[in-house]
Amino acid sequence: MKNTFIKSTLILILGGFIIKIMGMFIKIIITRSIGESGLSLYMLTLPTYNLFITLVTSGMQISTSKLISENRLNKTRLISTSLVITLITSFILVLILVIFAKPITVLLHNDKLYYPILSIILSLPFIGISSILKGYFLGLNKMHVQVISNFFEQLIRIGLYVLVLPSINNKVLGVAFIIGSNMISEIVALITMLIFLPKKISLKKLFKFDKNIKTEILSISVPSTTSRVIGTISYFFEPIILTNLLIINGYSNSYISTEYGIITGYAMQLLLLPSFFSMAISQSIIPLISNAFVNKRYLYIKKKIREIIIISLIIGLTYTIVINIKPIFFLETIYNTNKGTNYIKILSPVFILLYIQTPLTSVLQSINLATESMKATIYGIIIKTILMIVLSFFKFGIYAFIYPMLINIVFVTIHNYIKIKRSINSFL
């Protein structure tokens, strides 16, 4: 079991590193092609995009991965039922997006966001289907399939952005192209995974619905994704609430868009570059901890939690020190800007906790405490929103967004750690 975990984690880390390097190259192309004003539009669109991605995947990757690893159900019927659920969800979300695209731009006080938001429709169904196949291969511990599909997905993105993006002079259409072209890269990723699909899983038998399997899928996917959906909904409303609060308190829309874009597009993105480490650990730890929990190996779980916390801290701390030594160098190299250094110095010490938070959330899901993760998310959002409102009226400007976000990170991480520790100790 230990060797499987190490092997799976190393494959995901290596693959994640390669994908992250490619992602950095993509960010360089995007930021230098659409400029600061285009980046602001992109970052304002991103919360809506992330919300609909979360809704269309609906925890399918986690549920598929867990059910496949248990090896109880017919794999073809499991995938088929998941596909039907995802396609129905996709259809509903597309309709919602068509209806509410314009109202969202009104809430954000920026009618330029209409076409970027509408372009989200193109990739939604493919992202949903892709998450199911990724969950299938993760459940079989075939981590290399996800790595290969992600590689080709990023490669297509780079090709599209290099060939097409520089020729689009309109910033709005440029952002819409960045988001809409994800459809092509997702299709390529799907084709790649279909090549690795075993012959015993016939494509002719797909899209068949099994009510019993549906119940099992939803019993796992709904609780495991609830906290993520709540967090993403908060992320969706975040720029809307912030924009309206700051406008009420005398700040211009230009100031809000620019500073929000610098924080979320430059500073936060730079600080989260090594996040593939924690994601690799999180994906690998779910089947491992789940199996140990079922078999009541609580000392093993406690030891493993200690290990992932130490590893995550070392990674986060090392990277934070490096970034703080030469922040301008990294900003200029990747984004061709020196803006955001002041935000990096404030954000970086607390952002170390995010490298711990992701694996801890996976542990909670693995020991049947997904509801505790959901509670932490809800409490954190309430605290963040109240502080954002208070600080906005005290004329903190964009720092009315920064300080509540940092407090939210600290609260959620500590809450999840305490809940895990108490739960495991109660069994010992």
Residue 421 has pLDDT above 60, yes or no: yes
Look at the block and give the residue holding tokens 């020190």. Answer: 321
Cα distance between residue 64 and residue 41, in whole Å: 35
Between 360 and 1, the higher pLDDT residue = 360
Helices in 58-74 by DSSP H: which ranges? 60-70
DSSP characters over 179-203 = HHTHHHHHHHHHHHHHHHS-TTS-G
% of residues, the chain, pLDDT over 70: 93
Q: How confident is the model at residue 410 (pLDDT cuts 50, 70, 90)?
A: very high
Residue 31: both structure tokens together: 């930021």
pLDDT of residue 286: 74
Section 177-198 average pLDDT:
89
- CA 170 to chain centroid: 28
Angle, CA of 7, 11 and 13, to the nearest 5°? 115
pLDDT at 297 over 80: yes
Section 387-402 average pLDDT: 91
Q: Coil, strand, or helix at residue 89?
A: helix
Distances (CA, A) of 416 to 313, 376, 385: 16, 7, 20
For residues 281-306, average pLDDT: 80
Q: Is residue 70 very low, low, confident or very high in pLDDT (cuts 50, 70, 90)?
A: low
What would the pLDDT profile of 229-253 be if each residue is shown by its tens digit?
Answer: 777 777 778 888 888 889 888 888 8
**Which of the residue ranges 58-72, 252-266, 303-317, 392-406 would you say has the lowest mean pLDDT?**
58-72
Question: How much is the pLDDT for 377?
Answer: 85
CA angle 178, 184, 186 (to 5 degrees): 100
Alpha-carbon distance of 266 to 262, in angstroms, equals: 5
pLDDT for res 417: 93
Of the candidate ranges 7-21, 32-46, 120-134, 399-413, the one whose mean pLDDT is the lowest: 7-21
Tens digit of each residue's pLDDT (9 = 90 or more) over 116-126 = 999 999 989 99
Give the pLDDT score at 98.
92
pLDDT band at 58 (very low <50, low <70, confident <90, very high): low
- Residue 364 tokens, joined: 């909670």
Q: Which residue has the tokens 């938070």?
A: 357
Residue 265 binned pLDDT confidence (cut-offs 50, 70, 90): confident
CA atoms within 13 A on the CB side of 50: 17
Sorted by sequence, the CB contacts under 8 Å of residue 252 that are 6+ apart come out as none
Chain segment 204-221, per-residue pLDDT in tens: 556 667 777 777 777 667
Contact 124, 186 (CB under 8 A): no
Q: Which pLDDT score, from 0 to 100, does residue 272 have? A: 85
What value does the mean pLDDT of the chain take? 84
The three-state secondary structure class of 398 is: coil
- pLDDT value, residue 408: 94
Higher pLDDT: 128 or 233? It is 128
Report whether pLDDT(350) > 90: yes
- Residues ≥6 apart with Cβ < 8 Å to 147: 11, 12, 14, 15, 16, 18, 19
409: tokens are 């990170």
For residue 368, what are the CA distances in angstroms to 61, 65, 205, 217, 335?
17, 15, 33, 15, 41
Torsion-angle region of residue 395: left (phi > 0), alpha (psi -120 to 50) or beta? left
Average pLDDT over residues 15-23: 81
CB atoms within 10 A of CB 7: 13
pLDDT band at 401 (very low <50, low <70, confident <90, very high): very high
In the predicted model, is pLDDT for residue 104 greater than 90? no
Nearest Cα to Cα of residue 38 among 331, 333, 268, 265: 265
Confidence of residue 54 (pLDDT cuts 50, 70, 90): confident
State the average pLDDT over residues 79-98. Answer: 89
**Distances 393 to 107, 109, 370, 396 between C-alpha atoms, Å:** 19, 19, 35, 8
pLDDT: is 196 or 65 the higher one? 196
Query: What is the arithmetic mean of pLDDT over 300-313?
Result: 87
